[in-house]
Structure 1
Amino acid sequence: MRTVGLVVEYNPLHNGHVYHFTEAKKQTAADAAVAVMSGYFLQRGEPAIASKWARTEMALRMGADLVLELPFAYAAQNAEQFAFGAVATLDATGIVDTLCFGSESGHIERIQTLASLLTDEPDAFRTALATELARGVSYPAAYGRAAAQLLGDADAQKDTSEPNNILGLNYCLALRRLKSSIMPATITRQKAGYHDTEMTDTRIASATALRKHLLESGNLLTIAPYVPPSTLAVLTDEQNAGRFPVTWDDFFPHVQHTLLTQTPEQLALIHEMTEGLEHRLLTALPQAAAFHELMESIKTKRYTWTRLQRLLLYSMLHITHDQMKQATIAGPAYIRVLGFSDTGRELLRQMKKTARVPVLTRVPKSKHSLLALDVRAAAVYALAYPLELRLREMQREYWQTPIML
């Protein structure tokens, strides 16, 4: 059975995702699709608008055959770590033939060429990167400029600065570093850019625009033209159950509590708390009445919104440098199954023979440090729910079995 791997967040799943899914299977001649999906918190450091179980159901209803969880320690990280964790998870299954991702460029050969040159990060590249960072620019911008200098190609900066291109490059870098047999493929992103906040097409809009529109209107029907009926049905059920939508505003009191009850010395131990950022946070906190106000007051050209969101997330979950290093030092140590179809059941049977790490359908009593972080993140996510739901939802990692469709 020929199988394509997809790296997804589905926040929420929309028509653009359906296009990518359909084209990915078609382009790679795949009989089945395996999606590795972020859990409760996402790559940009924000909470998913709906739970991972709801988004798993969306994926299965769309046609995905097997949904695996990308552990929190990789899911809420920079592009390099995010991509490595996702690719390593797909590679560890032993059943995935190709990895198909969306990109702004749509040229897999060019992305692979860049990956071949940057795999070992030559000294000239590292020097250029350090120089750009010293000028106070963000890491993604510095990376793009350093790549352009190394290659003597101005277009390389665009190839390494657009969000999906960045991820695509890092997927290819991860494949090379893992010496994986999985072959990469890409599909050009259609009609809506990753960061687009407005709807400019009648059928396809970015997840960013859909979330913005949904939260402003408060009416699920306003996004109906942009999502498959199955997504609308799942989100309606979640809304009726009191579990949707979830935003950073739901967690702001917990962020305040974390920052107010920690000393600068304690905060300095948090993962990615560098260059005295703990003092910047503590200075800004008393003037911020909402999460958005806090972010606006601490954001700079160097410290991007995404990086700071992740930093506040690590702070809220009390994740230190040492804890993150310990969790990720050896790569994914297990494969967590969130859901599967009939075809996915066959894939799971095959994985019993091919998987290089344990395949989990339940949380065991003795948990790897990666999984312990997942359980912690799930419990914290439940704080966004109404009081009458919290106790049960905080324990959901222990009682929820994979969704079967």
Structure 2
Amino acid sequence: MKAVGVIVEYNPLHNGHVYHLTEARRLSGADVVVAVMSGPFLQRGEPAIVGKRVRTEMALHAGADLVVELPVAYAVQPAEWFAFGAVSLLHRTGAVDSLCFGSESGDLDSLQRIARVLAVEPAGLREDIARRLREGASYPAAYAGAAAALAPGGVDADDAAALLGQPNNSLGLHYLIALERLGSAIKPFTAARTGAAYHEATPGPGAIASATAVRRLLLADGPEAAAPYVPAATLAILRREWQEGRAPVHWERFAQPLLHIAATRRASELEQIAEVTEGLEHRLSRTLAQLPEPSVEALLNALKTKRYTRTKLQRMLTHILLNHTKAECSPEKLAEGPAYLRVLGFNAQGQSLLKHMKKTASLPVLLKPSTFVHNQLELDVQAQAAYALACKHIDTRMMYSDYYEPPVRL
């Protein structure tokens, strides 16, 4: 049984994601698709618009066979560690043969050549990144520029800079770097992105819109507004979640607890939190007293600069909300890799692969988190509890669904 891995967030799952799943099977020739999916909080530092079990349902209806959770310690991280965590999980299953990611370019060869150079972290890379940061570049731009400057023979530096300046290409590069660093035998494929661009805020004329555009439609007008851009199963699930009061979840639902924490922590305490860097604890404290209104959006707008992107600040606020310390999220800790394979859902094909994985996996395969103790898992449980408190209808079972609810089965 050949298995292909995909790394996803599905916030929410839309028609472009169905295309990616179809292409993953076609390009790899796989029988089974394994999706590594972020939990309640995502790589760009945002809460998911619907919960992880809901997005697991969407994934299984759309063609995934097995869904595994990316621990929150990796899910809310810059691309390097997000990619490393997700690829590590696929590698440690011992059963995944290939990885298929989306890219703007579809140029796997150029990305692989750059990845081989960067996997060993050439001398001068970090110094060049630091120089570009001092000059006012954001971290993604600084990394892309420094990486392009080290482009290997056959890849023009200007072409490399243009290539890495696109978000899916950049994330794909980090997947390839992770495969190199792990010495993994997993074979990579890339599906060229079609339709809307990653950050495109409004839908185009076709049936594929970006997740950003779909979320805007959902937040403004509810599920029916997104109907042309999502599969029928996704639309039915979204209708149910809106009707039951479990959606939509967005940053403003967390405004009160987040602002409470930020206002009652000393700068010395905030400084211990992940992503609170370069004096941001002082900037945060000063900014709170000057907000035009007590909202997360107002806080982000006030904190944002050319150097501190919205994504960087959102990740910082998520770590503050969840009390993720620098010690827990240090490079040394993250380099150890995820400690378990947490199963969120599966179908019959996925169940067959699970049986095989119990023999091949080099990590514990968790269907019942209550049977396992680890700091990464504690952070996952806490993240789910915090997320559930942002829903209109709160109950303890939903807060601690990691303990109460079995994996989703389709």
Q: 1:121 to 1:357 in 2, by over 3 A?
A: same
**What is residue 44 of structure 2 aligned with on the other side?**
44
Counterparts in 2 of 1:159-198, with a 5 A limit? 159-198=163-202
Of 331, 334, 342, the residue aligned with 1:336 is 342
**What is residue 376 of structure 2 aligned with on the other side?**
370
**What is residue 119 of structure 2 aligned with on the other side?**
119
**What is residue 223 of structure 1 aligned with on the other side?**
226
- 1:385 matches 2:385: no
Aligned residue for 2:184, secondary structure, equals: coil
- Answer yes or no: is the 8 Å Cα contact 1:327–1:370 preserved in 2: no
Q: Which moved more, 1:317-326 or 1:59-68?
A: 317-326
Residue 190 (structure 1) shift: 0.6
TM-score norm. by structure 2 comes to: 0.96
**What is residue 350 of structure 1 aligned with on the other side?**
356
Aligned residue for 2:64, secondary structure, equals: coil
Of 316, 323, 326, the residue aligned with 2:321 is 316
- Answer yes or no: is the 8 Å Cα contact 2:245–2:391 preserved in 1: yes
Residue 255 (structure 1) shift: 1.0
- 1:269 matches 2:272: yes
- Answer yes or no: is the 8 Å Cα contact 1:267–1:273 preserved in 2: yes
Moved over 4 A (4+): none
Count of aligned pairs between the two proteins: 403
Measured in 1, the distance between the counterparts of 2:169 and 2:22 equals 20
Listed one character per residue, the Cα deviations across residues 124-143 of structure 1 (whole Å, up to 9, x for unaligned) are: 33332222112121111111
Measured in 2, the distance between the counterparts of 1:279 and 1:45 equals 20
- Answer yes or no: is the 8 Å Cα contact 2:84–2:178 preserved in 1: yes
Q: 5+ residue gaps in structure 1?
A: none
- 1:285 matches 2:288: yes
Aligned residue for 1:69, secondary structure, equals: strand
Residue 271 (structure 1) shift: 0.8
**What is residue 58 of structure 1 aligned with on the other side?**
58
Of 239, 259, 262, the residue aligned with 1:259 is 262
Aligned residue for 1:10, secondary structure, equals: coil
Measured in 2, the distance between the counterparts of 1:366 and 1:211 equals 35
Measured in 1, the distance between the counterparts of 2:289 and 2:125 equals 41
Listed one character per residue, the Cα deviations across residues 239-270 of structure 1 (whole Å, up to 9, x for unaligned) are: 12111110001001111101111000100111
Residue 286 (structure 1) shift: 2.6
Listed one character per residue, the Cα deviations across residues 115-168 of structure 1 (whole Å, up to 9, x for unaligned) are: 011111211333322221121211111111112222351011122221111110
Residue 101 (structure 1) shift: 0.2
- Answer yes or no: is the 8 Å Cα contact 2:200–2:210 preserved in 1: yes
Residue 327 (structure 1) shift: 5.3
- Answer yes or no: is the 8 Å Cα contact 2:195–2:206 preserved in 1: no
- Answer yes or no: is the 8 Å Cα contact 2:283–2:303 preserved in 1: yes
Measured in 2, the distance between the counterparts of 1:47 and 1:196 equals 19
- 1:53 aligned partner, one-letter code: R
**What is residue 251 of structure 2 aligned with on the other side?**
248
Aligned residue for 1:20, secondary structure, equals: helix
**What is residue 302 of structure 1 aligned with on the other side?**
307
- 1:188 aligned partner, one-letter code: A
Listed one character per residue, the Cα deviations across residues 352-389 of structure 1 (whole Å, up to 9, x for unaligned) are: 11000100001125521110100010010011112x52
Q: Which moved more, 1:281-290 or 1:333-342?
A: 281-290
- 2:104 aligned partner, one-letter code: E
Measured in 2, the distance between the counterparts of 1:249 and 1:103 equals 31
- Answer yes or no: is the 8 Å Cα contact 1:198–1:209 preserved in 2: yes
Residue 391 (structure 1) shift: 2.2
TM-score norm. by structure 1 comes to: 0.97
Give me the CA root mean square deviation: 1.2
